[in-house]
Amino acid sequence: MIELAGLTKRYGLKTAVRELTCVIRPGLVTGFLGPNGAGKSTTMRMILGLDHPTAGEARVEGKPYARLTDPLTVVGALLEARAVHPGRTAYHHLLCLAQSNGVPRRRVGEVLDLVGLGPVARKRPRGFSLGMGQRLGIASALLGDPRILIFDEPVNGLDPEGIHWVRNLIRSLAADGRTVFVSSHLMSEMALTADHLIVIGQGQLLADTSMADFIEENARSTTRVRSPDQEALRDALADAGLTAEPARGPGAEGAWELAGDQTEPVGRLAADRGLVLHELCLHRASLEEAFMRLTSQAVEYQARGRAPEG
């Protein structure tokens, strides 16, 4: 478990993270979302003891990072900037890390196999592709078999196969009962990976909720219906008290759109009236739509909040 309590970081006049309070629980993938500059990396760095909070506290398994004995066995992290000694092979890089952190030597071979780098274990990471470098970073994070994992933008720059692999790995780590905290600016990827979301904007908490509730609350779903007898369909909908508007967007010509999930009443209505339908579908709001709506509201709110009085 990771606990943030009033976590705050100021750099001079700039407040990067402002009184962040939340709990990141085990057994789930918790996605950490926010526009660029929202304070995600700063928060992760404070959890990992790489930056000191101006106020408040971040605790991992009940303690601040600095008070952990053998931190690598409690929390593993993949941060954006990876430091790998250029002269060491992948195997030696991990071995040094293991030896300085009380991790048994056999674990090095295990994590190399786990991330698929077994065949290149004796090669220097200098020649590694971005994807291989990312796998080595993940191997370092997993080395101490920690209960908590923190990944900052883990799929950045990966090809589709690499993205798929990271997604499955992250999901399986949570399924093992570990606490997994992942930041990403890729909404479609997050929608496939995270169970729970923590959203921040300008350093402040905007949402701490399940993925399903977040989408439900912040984006609207619509029902689209199309009939060759467009006018009769519109009249039938109006008679039933269902408000429909001409659908917009590519391929929407001649279709009607209704707010929310109205597929059942519309389907029943069409059957009762003997109307032929060529399309009846629910368009589910995406995480991206929900996120844009929430963060644009936050920007507006901030802008209004800052407007000088009088």
Q: Does 40 bind ligand ADP (CB under 6 A)?
A: yes
Among 3, 29, 33, 41, binds ligand ADP (CB under 6 A): 41
Q: Which is nearer to ligand ADP, 42 or 179 (CB)?
A: 42
Is 11 one of the binding residues for ligand ADP (CB under 6 A)?
yes
Cα separations in angstroms, 18 against 54, 134, 203, 292: 10, 30, 5, 21
Residue identified by tokens 């200098």 is: 126
Could you give the 3-state DSSP secondary structure of residue 67? Answer: helix
248 binds ligand ADP (CB under 6 A): no
Please tell me whether residue 37 binds ligand ADP under the rule CB under 6 A. Answer: yes
Distance CA 5, CA 255 (A): 50
| Residue 69 within binding range of ligand ADP, rule CB under 6 A | no
Contact pick of 13, 14, 122, 306 for ligand ADP (by CB under 6 A): 14
Determine the interface stretch with ligand ADP among 10-18, 100-108, 123-131, 286-294 (rule: CB under 6 A).
10-18
What is residue 218's three-state secondary structure?
helix
Q: How far is the CB of 183 from ligand ADP (least distance, A)?
A: 7
Beta bridge partners of 152: 183
Distances (CA, A) of 184 to 15, 23, 54, 163, 299: 21, 18, 25, 12, 20
34 lies in the site for ligand ADP, by CB under 6 A: yes
Write the Ramachandran bin of 157: left for phi over 0, alpha for psi from -120 to 50, otherwise beta.
Answer: left
**Member of 4, 7, 24, 38 binding ligand ADP (CB under 6 A):** 38
Cα separation, 195 vs 257, in Å, equals: 30
Among 2, 20, 29, 39, binds ligand ADP (CB under 6 A): 39
Q: Could you tell me which stretch among 9-17, 209-217, 222-230, 272-280 binds ligand ADP (CB under 6 A)?
A: 9-17
Shortest distance in whole angstroms from residue 21 CB to ligand ADP = 17
Which of 36, 62, 250, 310 is the binder for ligand ADP (CB under 6 A)?
A: 36
Number of residues engaging ligand ADP in binding (CB under 6 A): 11
Q: Binding of ligand ADP at residue 8 (CB under 6 A)? A: no
149 binds ligand ADP (CB under 6 A): no
Residue of 19, 1, 22, 23 whose CA lies nearest to 10: 19
Residue type, 257: E
Name the phi and psi angles at 160, rounded to 5. -55, -40
Residue 76 makes contact with ligand ADP by CB under 6 A: no
Give min distance, CB of 15 to ligand ADP, in A.
8
Euclidean distance between CA atoms 173 and 169, whole angstroms: 6
Residues 6 or more apart from 259 whose CB is under 8 A from it? 220, 222, 223, 243
- Smallest distance from ligand ADP to CB 52, Å: 12
For binding to ligand ADP (CB under 6 A), which residues are involved?
11, 14, 16, 34, 36-42
